[in-house]
Amino acid sequence: MAQLDNLRIVLASRPAGRPRPGDFRLEHAAVPTAAEGQVLLRILYLSLDPYMRGRMSEAKSYAAPVAIGQVMEGGTVAEVLESRHPSFKPGDIVLSHSGWQSHAVADGAHLRKLDPAAAPITTALGVLGMPGFTAYAGLLTIGQPKAGETVVVAAASGPVGSAVGQIARIKGARAVGIAGGETKCAFVRETFGFDAVIDHRAPDFAEKLAAACPQGIDVYFENVGGKVWDAVFPLLNTFARIPVCGLVAQYNSTGDFAGPDQLPVVMRQVLTKSLTIRGFIQREFVAQRPAFEQEMARWITDGALKYKEDIVAGLDRAPEAFIGLLEGKNFGKLIVKV
């Protein structure tokens, strides 16, 4: 298969702050060959997610950074071209973690076969995949919303936020979303059915959020940090739970953060309001994955839960799309059609 061209995007340099297009490099490489137990894949769709910003930095995190010159990491949906694994045959559609490239080999043991008749295959990267499971596991395990409580989530038009709010409503809680711009806000209100939506670009954003949460906030699903946190923090109720899933607003920050130091103020409220702040990554809840897949599929079939995808055509556009994602330019789950 060496005549085929593997198009791939590698990390060219570690960004200081906001990634620039030059931090990525498009390369042509030979298509690899599948060894025994492996399959050769043609990547159909690549998922772009905020966590990838962490992999571009050298700082210690829950996963090793991508090395300079290495293919950018990422979840993918792919078609099997050649199989040397008994469970797969050419034409099968699989979920893999093959990164930003057009072709890859993978161990059969690391793949999950998808049924294109059951759901659109892109949903394996979104509502039925990692982002959907992040919302489900973080909200239900840490957030534990109860009927009548108020759940707040930012990036509410995105794949995690939209699922958080809709699952909160399924559990009988009030969902208050935060999104950027009137188009996204209208979609969150009308299609995702949140009880209230606030545009974080509004000059009186904090006041509007307070008005939308007259009973305070019981669960804040943290995926952005920054000024959303500042507005949410005074509204937290006693025993509020804060699953921390992401901090997109600070991923591009460098150096020290300007004072005053907010930590003692936050810790005082943690103490006097018996707050729970709990960071997580979805894979620690792997035991709940089967329940998630079953419930989420049912909610989608029933129409109780909607999703939105934002599909960009062409692997070469992945860097630009990813940079836009960190700035909230996507509208729905961002996926590259490779």
One-letter amino acid of 27: E
131 binds a copy of itself (CB under 8 A): no
The two tokens of residue 15 are: 């960004």
Q: What span, in angstroms and rounded, lies between the C-alpha atoms of 63 and 309?
A: 26
Q: Least distance to a copy of itself from the beta carbon of 248, Å?
A: 11
Helix (H) or strand (E) holding 241: strand 236-244
Q: Binding pattern to a copy of itself, positions 216-235, x when CB under 8 A?
A: ------x--x---x------
Instruction: Choose between 279 and 332: whose C-beta lies nearer to a copy of itself.
Output: 279
Instruction: Choose between 18 and 273: whose C-beta lies nearer to a copy of itself.
Output: 273
161 binds a copy of itself (CB under 8 A): no
Q: What span, in angstroms and rounded, lies between the C-alpha atoms of 113 and 80?
A: 10
Supply the DSSP string of 90-108, one letter for each residue: TT-EEEE---SBSEEEEEG
The two tokens of residue 142 are: 């840490």
Find, among 181, 178, 203, the residue nearest to 192 by Cα.
Answer: 178
Residue 278: CA count within 13 A, CB half-sphere:
20
Q: Does the bond joining 260 to the residue before it have cis omega, within 30 degrees of 0?
A: yes
Q: Which stretch binds a copy of itself (CB under 8 A): 64-72, 193-201, 240-248, 326-334?
A: 240-248
Q: Binding pattern to a copy of itself, positions 9-48, x when CB under 8 A?
A: ----------------------------------------
Q: Least distance to a copy of itself from the beta carbon of 250, Å?
A: 5
Residue ranges in 173-202 that form contacts with a copy of itself under rule CB under 8 A: none
254 binds a copy of itself (CB under 8 A): no
107 binds a copy of itself (CB under 8 A): no
245 binds a copy of itself (CB under 8 A): yes
287 binds a copy of itself (CB under 8 A): no
How many CB atoms within 10 Å of residue 150?
A: 24
Find, among 132, 217, 127, the residue nearest to 178 by Cα.
Answer: 217
Q: Least distance to a copy of itself from the beta carbon of 83, Å?
A: 36
Q: Least distance to a copy of itself from the beta carbon of 271, Å?
A: 4
Q: Binding pattern to a copy of itself, positions 258-277, x when CB under 8 A?
A: xxxxxxxxxxxxxxxxxxxx
Instruction: Choose between 183 and 250: whose C-beta lies nearer to a copy of itself.
Output: 250
331 binds a copy of itself (CB under 8 A): no
> Which are the contacts of 27, defined by CB distance < 8 A and separation ≥ 6?
7, 8, 9, 10
DSSP lists the bridge partners of residue 312 as 336
Find out whether 239 and 216 touch, Cβ atoms under 8 Å: no
Judged by the rule CB under 8 A, the positions of this chain that interact with a copy of itself are 54, 60-62, 222, 225, 229, 238-239, 244-247, 250, 253, 256-281, 284
